[in-house]
A and B are shown apart, each in its own frame.
Chain A
Amino acid sequence: MEQTPGEQPIDLAFGFLTAVDSPSHGLFGGYLLVDPAGRPLEFHCTAPVKVSRAQQILYGATLQSHLHGRQIGATLLAEGTVAPELVLTDFEPMLHVRSHTSLPVALVTRADAAVAPNAEASSFAIGSVSVSPHAQDAGLGEALRQKLESLVASVDLAEPFERIRAAIEEAQRH
């Protein structure tokens, strides 16, 4: 489709990554890429992953990083055809995905919520949320904040996660 003068540049995108735990199905991962106006560009969701008791025992403390970071997070990010400016998650274990991607990753919490236990000094408030970059991206705080400004003008940063959850619920019904 030919681009008209009013269109936004096509290469700017933001990623939203989260997981939804369904008691009956297991853990679903969802990854939404949006443009600066908050409109969806791509959506990827995993089939449910069910963790057995034995797996919990075998993986022990590494379960979270493996399950969310590698199995779900890295798998979803690999499916994206657009490289986002950064990946936001509202689910702290998802931060482990940073070990498997070169993209900056940050945790979004409601501004009025308790500060995440491992929140870094690089955390910043923007709109109605606080954004805490992964420790590996601690030096990028200001740059990330600037990148997010255009998006925050359009959407509340906590809101796209609601869309992902609604879509995953829909997928379960379908």
Chain B
Amino acid sequence: MDSHAGSVRSWRRGDLLFASGGALARLDPRLAAPAALRLPIDVPTPSVTRIEIFDRPPAVNSFQFARSVEPAVRPPRVVRPRPVEPPCEEPAPATDPAAPKRTRIAPPRDVVKLSERFFFLLQPDLEAILETSSLAFPRQPFPFQLDGMAFLVPRHGAVLADEMGLGKSMQAISSLRLLIRSGEARRVLVVCPKGLVSNWTRELADWAPELLVAVIEGDPQRRRWQWSLEDVPVKVANYEAVVRDRDLVAELGLEFDLVVLDEAQRIKNRTSNTSEAVRALRRKRSWALTGTPVENRAEDLVSLFEFVAPGHLNDRMSPRALGAAAADHVLRRTKDKVLKDMPPRMNRDERIELSPEQRETYRRAEEEGVLRLSALGQEATIQNVFELVLRLKQICNFDTATGESAKLDCLEAELEEIQASGKKSLVFSQWVETLGRLKTRLARFGALEYHGGMSTAARDEAIRRFKHDKQHNVLLLSYGAGAVGLNLQFSQYVFLFDRWWNPAIEDQAINRAHRIGAAGAVTVTRYLSADTIEERIDEVLRKKRDLSDTILSQAEAPASSGLTTEDLFALFKLAPPIRAAA
């Protein structure tokens, strides 16, 4: 067919063209003309219409991709001993063999170069990658967890904001494992709260057993050595260590291919040492894991993004604009959406009448407190209000004069029933002192304590006994220590003896039990003392919950976005002083 092009180029006037079967031929009219035919000498020149044929091949864009680096044989990993506890049993995800799911790794919006977008688009589906990478999993990931991995892997800045209990750490570990396997990451740092370091080492051992892990801990000399370890791809440090070793990390010139922040709401205060130290880490990828990207205010998300994608969000943006700008970086799933078969969570708000003596103590304390605040006038501070709130909440738990507790009476009765059914319960309180009093009264249920005042070893031992010993059916936890990281899905009852300031923390507490692997329905009982400060705070908390939903769903902003100074003063029907309101 190349000859056609040549034919066209050498057309002469008077040629006859024949098109047949795509072939273009030229005949000399003198040869083709019948002998009897006499052509007039002055025959007019026929007009010629040029028709383009495919005379040159189309332009081609070519892209070549680096081959993935399969892992070298690695030495056995033992940097810290594994905990002896067996992993909790989790149900196998329901799969439909007739319709195998294919999870595609889609390029993020901020990947602009076509070659880079092609790199993601032309990869096999995640299921195929996992199958061919010899990446064994201790349990088959749920489809939504594969979606989470497909979200994290291509992103340099990502917030995995799944509801607690959906396996954020597992998704992060499996994703960083893929990056290490493909050679895209060689140095990974996981930063988590101190109490969760052992959780992370356990999960890393479960989900990425071939990876060497170093925990940054011990004296300065030891930590320097740990930070410097070249051949350990994953390091785990708590937030305090990152703050403490900020200069050391800079001095060593460490740069990480990936930094994962667990419980990333820790950096919501932009000016805190923690936030500054974390943001100072030199890194290529920044992933934040949090079930509560917006705890109190929209600014929480902006602060988080100062780590994830600096400058991408700012405080001047409306909640709707924040949601839109953050959308491609944030993935949030809730249990009701992704775990249709998960046991239900039943919420009971139990309104408890204070005993007459308790009521009297409460009334006196409130009246005196409000009088004091009124007397302070413009001198009243938020701290004064806060102290009064705490005092009243404590009276709602226990009468300071008589030690009576209507809540505890109620709890005791409920625990008796639960004990009879052989089920286990978690009880949360804001105060360690309250936990101590509860422990005394609930000794017959084998109540154990778990709070920040205990050593790590003592806390681990409490969890072990609660899990395995049938004599211990009640675990008393502080919100501070027990709301994050623990997997207590064998517990079917959760009691919030008093309320935390923030609904997100309460959710975290509840999700210690209501998470993947929960054996049955989880019943959550929230105690509220009738006609007290607790009810008033509850009302504010409900509004705060709306704020998180607003940003994450890009809905309209609610009227109130948190427990503001005005809110606190309004709890006592007081107007805030002018300077405080400003």
Interface membership of B219, Cβ < 8 A: no
CA gap between A50 and B73 in the complex, in Å: 52
Chain B at the A interface: mostly helix, strand, loop or mixed? loop
CA gap between A160 and B22 in the complex, in Å: 32
- Chain B residue with Cβ nearest A64: B22
Interface residue from B22, B69, B72, B102 paired with A60 (Cβ < 8 Å): B22
Residues on the B chain within 8 Å of A1, using CB: 66-67, 69, 183
Residues on the A chain within 8 Å of B119, using CB: 40
With contacts A1-B69, A10-B67, A43-B63 known, is A55 near B124, CB below 8 A?
no
- Chain B residue with Cβ nearest A82: B64
Interface positions, chain B 43-68, Cβ under 8 Å from A, are: 51-54, 57-68
Interface membership of B132, Cβ < 8 A: yes
User: Contact residue range for chain B?
Assistant: 35 or more
User: Contact residue range for chain A?
Assistant: 35 or more
C-beta contact mask, A123-151 vs B, less than 8 Å → 1, else 0? 00000000000000000000000000000
- Distance between A100 CB and nearest chain B CB, rounded to angstroms: 11
Interface membership of A71, Cβ < 8 A: yes
Residues on the A chain within 8 Å of B32, using CB: none
Cβ contact within 8 Å between A37 and B124: yes
Residues on the A chain within 8 Å of B123, using CB: 39-40, 163
CA gap between A154 and B127 in the complex, in Å: 9
Interface membership of A118, Cβ < 8 A: no
Residues on the B chain within 8 Å of A59, using CB: 21-22, 53
Interface membership of B121, Cβ < 8 A: yes
Cβ contact within 8 Å between A55 and B63: no
Residues on the A chain within 8 Å of B73, using CB: 5-6
Nearest 6 CB-CB pairings of A with B: A62-B22, A59-B22, A6-B70, A75-B57, A40-B122, A38-B124
- Using CB atoms and an 8 Å cutoff, list the residues of chain A in contact with chain B: 1, 4-8, 10, 29, 32, 34-35, 37-49, 52, 54-55, 57-63, 66-67, 70-72, 74-76, 79, 81, 153-155, 159-160, 163-164, 166-167, 170-171, 174
CA gap between A169 and B183 in the complex, in Å: 29
- Pairs A–B under 8 Å by Cβ, sample size 13: A6-B70, A7-B69, A34-B124, A35-B67, A41-B65, A45-B60, A55-B51, A55-B52, A70-B54, A164-B122, A166-B104, A167-B121, A170-B118
- Distance between B274 CB and nearest chain A CB, rounded to angstroms: 38
CA gap between A75 and B61 in the complex, in Å: 11
Residues on the A chain within 8 Å of B53, using CB: 55, 58-59
Cβ contact within 8 Å between A45 and B61: yes
Interface membership of B346, Cβ < 8 A: no
- Distance between A145 CB and nearest chain B CB, rounded to angstroms: 20
C-beta contact mask, B112-132 vs A, less than 8 Å → 1, else 0? 001001110111110011011
- Chain B residue with Cβ nearest A61: B21
Cβ contact within 8 Å between B58 and A29: yes
Cβ contact within 8 Å between B24 and A58: yes
Residues on the A chain within 8 Å of B66, using CB: 1
With contacts A7-B70, A60-B20 known, is A47 near B58, CB below 8 A?
yes
CA gap between A174 and B69 in the complex, in Å: 29
Interface residue from A6, A44, A81 paired with B61 (Cβ < 8 Å): A44
Residues on the A chain within 8 Å of B102, using CB: 159
Interface membership of B19, Cβ < 8 A: yes
- Distance between A173 CB and nearest chain B CB, rounded to angstroms: 9
Cβ contact within 8 Å between A8 and B19: no
Residues on the B chain within 8 Å of A40, using CB: 65, 118-119, 122-123
Residues on the A chain within 8 Å of B69, using CB: 1, 4, 7
- Distance between B185 CB and nearest chain A CB, rounded to angstroms: 15
CA gap between A4 and B70 in the complex, in Å: 7
Interface residue from A7, A45, A72, A154 paired with B132 (Cβ < 8 Å): A154
CA gap between A159 and B131 in the complex, in Å: 15
- Distance between B438 CB and nearest chain A CB, rounded to angstroms: 55
CA gap between A142 and B560 in the complex, in Å: 71
Beyond known contacts A5-B73, A41-B67, A60-B20: 14 more, CB 8 A cutoff: A1-B183, A4-B70, A5-B72, A43-B62, A43-B65, A46-B59, A55-B54, A58-B24, A59-B22, A79-B60, A159-B124, A163-B121, A167-B118, A174-B117
With contacts A159-B102, A167-B121 known, is A60 near B21, CB below 8 A?
yes
Residues on the B chain within 8 Å of A5, using CB: 72-73
CA gap between A141 and B69 in the complex, in Å: 33
- Chain B residue with Cβ nearest A58: B19
Cβ contact within 8 Å between A159 and B125: yes
